[in-house]
Structure 1
Amino acid sequence: MDPTSITDINFHRPDESTFRPLAGFQNAHLQTLLPRILRRRVRLQPYWQRLTLPDGDFVDLAWSENPAGAAHKPRMVLFHGLEGSINSPYAHGLIEAAQRRGWLGVVMHFRGCSGEPNRRERIYHSGETEDASYFLHWLHTQWGRAPTAAVGVSLGGNMLACLMGKQGNDCLLDAGVVISAPLMLEPCSVKLEQGFSRFYQHYLLSRLKQNARRKLRAFPGTLPIDASLLKRIRRLRHFDDAITSRAHGFSDALDYYRQASALPLLHGVRKPMLIIHAKDDPFMTDDVIPTSRQLSASTTYQLTANGGHVGFVGGTLLRPQMWLEQRVPDWLENWLEQ
């Protein structure tokens, strides 16, 4: 499907929300890599908290401040991407942006992504919504009700879209933002095996394998593979075949990709949701671009010409700007500042 032919999707086009790439840096790969250069330093000093899950495992929470003294503030939850964390440029950048607005920000690290291996056989994947759902219920029970929104980035964006699509009006969130999400996992997996995109596959796979080795050393037998077989894995699809799918009850990677893709669930979203994609995203294909019939009435879809994968760097060479750190809080303000 040619995205330039789509005219009936609910695009959001006010001047202040339009993305204009940094002059001379429109290239998709430059946009994708620039935040790692410009946001290398983590200025945020998070307040850490460990949340025990019903099965005895845990997820680690990185708050913008101690929630005990900020429970009354509007809340912005962030779900990171594959092997991401509070140290990912988009994560600490968006949490700092929330903090500047006077909101309480928190990154819920998926199992095993905070630097310490998780204890159980389960890990995390693009459609695994149980931990996020439990966390959101815990958030309201522990700290009381307050306007609450979530931002999901890449894998975390697909997960958030799955959660909001499945839960409909029962979703505890007041709004959600989905950024650079692989809403159809199978074609995105194929894309990462082609051309320069193989660089990203190599980087992500090396992080996954490093994390898996750490888990095998700490908790032998908690992964459906041993160290010798892990070493021979060369593609993300093979990792998902050998580990992700088997750890979560899927028959293979293809079964996982088809069951965990969020695009077929978007029609069930009932709370306000903004989806942001770049047409030149090197992780994606046109298959992730929804048609108007696939979107619910509460969903706004924004497709930019440039931006790469979670890049969206604008401004000037002297003053580069992280567009997402303005666009996302501006949009969420409608629901968090009620």
Structure 2
Amino acid sequence: MERMQTTIDIINAKHQSHHSQKKLQKIFSQVEQKPFIPHPQYRQPHLMTLAGHFWPRDKFIPEHLTEERIFQTDVEAKVLAHCHWQPNRKNIATLVMAHGLEGSSSTHYMIGTAIKAIKLGFNVLRVNQRGGGGTHYLSPSPYHPGLSDDLRAIVKELIELDQLSEIYLLGFSMGANQSLKLAGEYGESTPPQLKAICAISPPIDLAMVTRSMHRPANYFFEANFLRVLHRSLRRYHRFYPTRYDVSQQWQAFTLRRFEELFTAPCNGFSSVEEYYTLASSNRLLDKIKIPTLVIHSQDDPFIPFKMFEEARFSATTALLSPINGGHMGFLQGQVDEEDRYWSENRALEFFNLLRQGT
């Protein structure tokens, strides 16, 4: 049976440590008060996905408001973040954002969400994944959907060096899986400064996603992702020629084959099956202890909703699952005080309600 469009699922509502369940339920209920009403011309999931990407929007942030910062995330890796600080930053809530595959800190949803968050009074960090935005020179190893260690290092530095006391983490697609995986890995040891997470269109079961991506209906999108991955691989080979053997690159004509030949071995996994298992966040979802909002459409063309129906969520997690939305599309047709980017607005509303202690 199809779920109601406005239903928000609060899974296994038992006790939890950071917020009372009653208060958290109230916040989740407030977030669902603005259901997703899709743009009437883009109800088809592939069109919705494309419309969300190409719809014109404000993408201008003055340079004088932006600070570039390098984070050392492990012994050999660094990532570049673009930071937007409010006055008296230590006492201000901070939003850290992680982009998806083929994205960067300059991708439209990263900038668009940052503009709205800045207006709400948040500090904002737009983080490039390893190699994102042409930063291959900063890290000899590439990003992948299970790379939660970089986000962990960034959160740790913001707490210890910047002395920030209120951090919110927002992940998109690949970055959403990383964010959920990080929260599950933290478990009972979650830093008290990390207040909440929102994951938009997260690929929580990578094996299932790869199979779905290879369906004929998704041929165009798989080909585009492969184009981006092959281009990134060539750039890594240019900077680190002895580390990357591209002689087999011609064989990687499907996403699974690319992950088997390059993604898994380049990131220390013994096989593509081990990579799919260990990099997926679904095995850790029930260990999340902080307020978490997952936003995923039931018609996502790449990430089957079945994986969310089978997932074991924690008591502090809510799943907001409209019938329509595509993959990170969520372009709404009715606009009052908001822009058309419904999922971004629900994420910011969720964080703002928590920040206000509603």
What displacement does 1:86 show?
Answer: 1.8
C-alpha separation between the residues in 1 aligned to 2:226 and 2:182? 25
Equivalent pair of 1:169/1:271 in contact (CA under 8 Å): no
| Structure 1: tracts of 5 or more residues without a match | none
Deviations 1:92-115 (A, max 9, x none): 111112111010111221111121
Q: TM-score, normalised by structure 1?
A: 0.90
Number of aligned residue pairs: 333
Change (3 A) 1:59 1:120: closer
Q: Secondary structure at the match of 1:200?
A: helix
Matched, 1:315 2:333: yes
Aligned counterpart in structure 2 of residue 42 of structure 1, from 59, 73, 83:
59
C-alpha separation between the residues in 2 aligned to 1:311 and 1:5? 19
C-alpha separation between the residues in 2 aligned to 1:34 and 1:79? 21
Q: Identical aligned pairs, as a percentage?
A: 25
Q: What are the equivalent positions in structure 2 for 1:169-318 lying under 5 Å apart?
A: 169-172=188-191, 173-223=194-244, 225-226=245-246, 228-291=247-310, 294-316=312-334
Equivalent pair of 1:184/1:287 in contact (CA under 8 Å): no
C-alpha separation between the residues in 2 aligned to 1:37 and 1:142? 38
Matched, 1:330 2:345: no
What displacement does 1:130 show?
Answer: 1.3
Change (3 A) 1:54 1:34: same
Match of 1:95 in 2: 114
Matched, 1:10 2:10: yes
| Structure 2: tracts of 5 or more residues without a match | 12-27
C-alpha separation between the residues in 1 aligned to 2:8 and 2:121? 36
The runs of at least 4 aligned residues of structure 1 exceeding 6 Å deviation read 5-8, 317-320
Residue range with higher mean Cα deviation, 183-192 or 316-325: 316-325
C-alpha separation between the residues in 2 aligned to 1:138 and 1:116? 20
Change (3 A) 1:309 1:243: same
What displacement does 1:146 show?
Answer: 2.5
C-alpha separation between the residues in 2 aligned to 1:323 and 1:120? 34
Aligned counterpart in structure 2 of residue 54 of structure 1, from 42, 60, 74:
74
C-alpha separation between the residues in 2 aligned to 1:252 and 1:157? 23
Q: TM-score, normalised by structure 2?
A: 0.86
Partner AA of 1:203 in structure 2: N
Q: Secondary structure at the match of 1:210?
A: helix
Partner AA of 1:37 in structure 2: F
Equivalent pair of 1:267/1:296 in contact (CA under 8 Å): yes
Match of 2:16 in 1: none
Q: Secondary structure at the match of 1:49?
A: strand
Q: Secondary structure at the match of 2:91?
A: coil
C-alpha separation between the residues in 1 aligned to 2:88 and 2:155? 19
C-alpha separation between the residues in 2 aligned to 1:8 and 1:80? 24
Match of 1:31 in 2: 48
Pairwise CA RMSD of aligned residues? 2.5
Aligned counterpart in structure 2 of residue 163 of structure 1, from 182, 186, 195:
182
Match of 2:135 in 1: 116
Equivalent pair of 2:81/2:105 in contact (CA under 8 Å): no
Q: Secondary structure at the match of 1:305?
A: coil
Change (3 A) 1:170 1:290: farther
C-alpha separation between the residues in 1 aligned to 2:313 and 2:334? 35
Q: Secondary structure at the match of 1:106?
A: strand
Change (3 A) 1:308 1:250: same
Deviations 1:150-203 (A, max 9, x none): 011111111111110111132231000011011111111011111221211111
Residue range with higher mean Cα deviation, 89-98 or 31-40: 31-40
Change (3 A) 1:147 1:297: same
